[in-house]
């Protein structure tokens, strides 16, 4: 048996992942650099499974948070899920599983630290989730993922609750759309000593929140808070060609 097949089988054994189709797990552990060095191998890299795993994780965690936090608002759950599915968190899960040492990766990528890369580890963890979902369904994914989530949940809740609305909205927007929110002052009314500023926040071309305050910074925080509260109303905004800045103009 080739070394790469042994690596896949060893990972499955260590994690007690009884794959019916081990080729799915092999694909999940295959970085594109490995196939670049072995173009004769007849399978794809893990990027499509990464896409699927990302969606499965979002769905699984949404259901978990809905069931276990009945008093949480939609914005609260969205913020907490964003912390749980962001790159550093998922890369941490991958490190707990020792995923890096089992990756099928090209020599050049290994030499530049690819096995320790948070980007790569996060993507591989999502790919493993996608492969497990295809092989055994959502229950098997839940069995793998939830012990990892529950061990970090207290810390994630503290972090999510401590974030100001602008930070929470930025994290959500970047995780969901790959775009940074843009803040624009639309009105400034009243005398100089008691002005009231109105700020709108947009993601792409979509205006998703508005807030007022005695200064632009306060109005921007309230606009972000409004956007988080109205999250269910958002349509998928178009990401602009040039990513907007985070400042208030």
**What would the DSSP string read from start to end of 15-60?**
TT---S-HHHHHHHTB-HHHHHH-TTS-S--SHHHHHHHHHHHHHH
Is 126 designated active site? yes
Give residue 103's pLDDT: 93
The tally of CA atoms less than 13 A away on the side-chain side of residue 139 is: 1
pLDDT tens digit sequence for 213-222: 888 988 998 8
Q: CA 204, CA 154: separation in Å to the nearest integer?
A: 33
Does residue 245 have a pLDDT over 70? no
Give residue 132's pLDDT: 97
Which of 45, 50, 109, 126 is flagged as catalytic? 126
Give residue 248's pLDDT: 56
Average pLDDT over residues 2-14: 80
Q: CA 33, CA 13: separation in Å to the nearest integer?
A: 25
Q: What domains are defined for the chain?
A: 3-162 (1.10.1520.10), 166-233 (3.30.160.20)
Give residue 162's pLDDT: 67
Does residue 240 have a pLDDT over 50? no
More confident residue, 231 or 80: 80
Average pLDDT over residues 105-134: 94
Is 159 designated active site? no
Q: CA 219, CA 226: separation in Å to the nearest integer?
A: 10
Which of 54, 109, 159, 226 is flagged as catalytic? 54
Does residue 31 have a pLDDT over 90? yes
Task: Write down the mean pLDDT value for the chain.
Answer: 87
pLDDT tens digit sequence for 58-95: 999 999 999 999 988 777 788 888 889 988 899 999 99
Grade residue 234 by pLDDT with cuts at 50, 70 and 90: low
Does residue 2 have a pLDDT over 70? no
Q: Please, are residues 200 and 226 in contact by the beta-carbon 8 Å criterion?
A: no
In the chain, what percentage of residues exceed pLDDT 90? 52
């Amino acid at each position: 048996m080739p070394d790469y097949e042994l690596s896949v089988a060893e990972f499955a054994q260590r994690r007690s992942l009884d794959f019916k189709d081990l080729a799915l797990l092999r694909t999940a552990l295959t970085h594109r650099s490995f196939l670049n060095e072995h173009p004769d191998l007849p399978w794809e890299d893990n990027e499509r499974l990464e896409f699927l795993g990302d969606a499965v994780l979002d769905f699984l965690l949404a259901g978990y948070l809905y069931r276990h936090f009945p008093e949480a608002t939609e914005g609260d759950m969205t913020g907490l899920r964003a912390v749980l599915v962001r790159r550093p968190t998922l890369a941490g899960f991958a490190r707990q599983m020792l995923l890096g040492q089992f990756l099928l990766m090209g020599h050049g990528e290994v030499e530049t630290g690819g096995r320790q890369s948070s980007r790569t580890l996060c993507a591989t963890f999502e790919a493993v989730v996608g492969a497990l979902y295809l092989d055994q369904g959502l229950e098997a994914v839940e069995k793998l993922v939830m012990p990892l989530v529950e061990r970090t949940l207290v810390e994630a809740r503290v972090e999510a609750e401590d974030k100001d609305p602008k930070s929470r909205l930025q994290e959500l927007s970047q995780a969901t759309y790959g775009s940074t929110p843009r803040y624009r002052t639309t009105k400034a009314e009243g005398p100089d000593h008691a002005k009231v500023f109105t700020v709108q926040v947009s993601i792409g071309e979509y205006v998703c929140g508005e807030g007022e305050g005695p200064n632009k910074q306060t109005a921007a925080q309230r606009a972000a808070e409004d956007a988080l509260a109205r999250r269910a109303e958002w349509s998928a905004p178009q990401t602009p060609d040039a990513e907007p800045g985070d400042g208030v103009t």
